[in-house]
Homo-oligomer: A and B are copies of this chain.
Amino acid sequence: MAELTVRGAAPKQDRSRATRRRLLEAAVTCLAEHGWTGSTVTVVAERAGVSRGAAQHHFPTREELFTAAVEYVAEQRSAVLRDLPGTASTHAVVELVVGLYTGPLFRAALQLWVAASHEPQLGPRVAALEARIGRETHRMTLELLHADEATPGVRETVQGLLDMARGLGLANLLSDDSARRGRVVAQWARLVDEALAG
């Protein structure tokens, strides 16, 4: 009997996990397309093809749904960095890191970030999430660049690079900035390369 229960539980858990993922993906798309104000649990549930009740079973509040969605996005972004071979050139690493900040995933995170600056229920939650994501991205970028933080200036060189990537993401919000971005990435990859070598 115990075995039967376990066997029966697995597909149910799978279904639950699939529903959760559908909700998170719908939440990210909603945020990117309509901003925080236009993104309600009802809109997301509808988009995911899930009942409002089921959505609230997974995420009791709107804040929980959207911060979980941005966390989910961040994990996908981390996976992209982890998949890069350790032999990649500085240019390839900078290009990839900048790519993390210019896609629809960053667009969704940005909407939440800006909403958090004037929504008290979102503020501390999103600030903590962004700090965690920032640390993780910094750690992986250092590793990919084979950079040693013990060397003075290295930490700030890489931090400034990530700030630049974030600024490029913002510049890409209202118009396609990819041509200019390609040239800035090439030049800054050279500057970072020289700084890390020196």
Contact = CB atoms under 8 A, between A and B. Distances in A.
Interface in A23-43: 33-35, 37-38
Contact of A123 (B118, B127, B174): B174
A165 interface: yes
A66 to B, nearest CB: 15
Contacts of A116: 173-174
B173 A170 contact: no
Interface string A153-179: 101110110111111111101110000
Contact of A183 (B111, B134, B156, B165): B156
A33 B114 CA distance: 11
A35 B160 contact: no
Given A156-B184, A166-B166, 18 more contacts: A35-B117, A37-B37, A110-B114, A114-B114, A116-B173, A117-B173, A131-B175, A134-B171, A153-B187, A156-B188, A157-B188, A159-B180, A159-B184, A160-B184, A162-B167, A163-B167, A163-B171, A167-B167
